[in-house]
Amino acid sequence: MSDAAAPLIAIDEAEVDISAIRAQGAGGQNVNKVSSAIHLRFDIPASSLPDDVKDRLLALRDKRITAEGVLVIKAQSHRTQDMNRLDAYARLQDIVQSVALAPKPRRATRPTRASKERRLDDKSQRSAIKELRGKARE
């Protein structure tokens, strides 16, 4: 990112759909009987985020964003539902903050004269090396 800090974008909790599910993986009986994992769904097009932030979010090539523009986050790294909920919100906030600041537009530049000369010198040296690999001439 750039030197300027991105403005903090607040996410309305009413726009986030959270459901508790059972976690996967090892954990003994606790994993089989307690719904401690969190499934967070955030509908990007229907959210109150600024339009430019929505566009940059939808343009992300992220497998967690569905074709309809719904961001799905599954948090199951902690043993408690509250910790997983906080983790899911933090990850959502990180994703939104990553696109909060518009990327700096790239300005086309021309190569310098010295860089062109270096490139041509390297090219001629390489050509000479390859020419020596050929069959011996009489």
pLDDT score recorded for residue 121: 97
Domain presence at residue 36 = yes
- Residue 35 domain boundaries: 13-98
Contact 38, 21 (CB under 8 A): yes
Return phi, psi of residue 65, to 5°: -100, 120
pLDDT score recorded for residue 5: 67
Of all residues in the chain, the percent with pLDDT exceeding 70 is 91
Q: What is the pLDDT of residues 121-134, one digit of tens each?
A: 999 999 999 998 98
Q: Provide mean pLDDT across the span 39-55.
A: 91
Which stretches within 26-80 are classed as H helix? Answer: 29-33, 51-59
Query: How far is CA 36 from each of CA 30, 116, 120, rounded to the nearest angstrom?
Result: 9, 61, 63
DSSP 2-40: -SSPPPPPP--GGGEEEEEEPPPSS-THHHHH---EEEE
Domain presence at residue 19 = yes
Q: Sorting pLDDT into bands at 50, 70 and 90, what band is 23?
A: confident
The count of domains in the chain is 1
Domain presence at residue 112 = no
Of all residues in the chain, the percent with pLDDT exceeding 90 is 50
Q: How many helices (H) and strands (E) does the chain have?
A: 4, 3
Q: Which amino acid is at 50?
A: P
Burial class (CB in 10 A: 0-12, 13-18, 19+), 42: buried
pLDDT score recorded for residue 10: 82
Q: What is the CATH number of the domain that holds 20?
A: 3.30.160.20
Q: Provide mean pLDDT across the span 19-37.
A: 76
Q: Provide mean pLDDT across the span 42-49.
A: 90
Other beta carbons within 10 angstroms of residue 13's beta carbon come to 8
Domain presence at residue 49 = yes
Domain presence at residue 92 = yes
pLDDT(11) > 70: yes
Domain presence at residue 63 = yes
Q: Sorting pLDDT into bands at 50, 70 and 90, what band is 27?
A: low
Domain presence at residue 2 = no
Q: Sorting pLDDT into bands at 50, 70 and 90, what band is 22?
A: confident
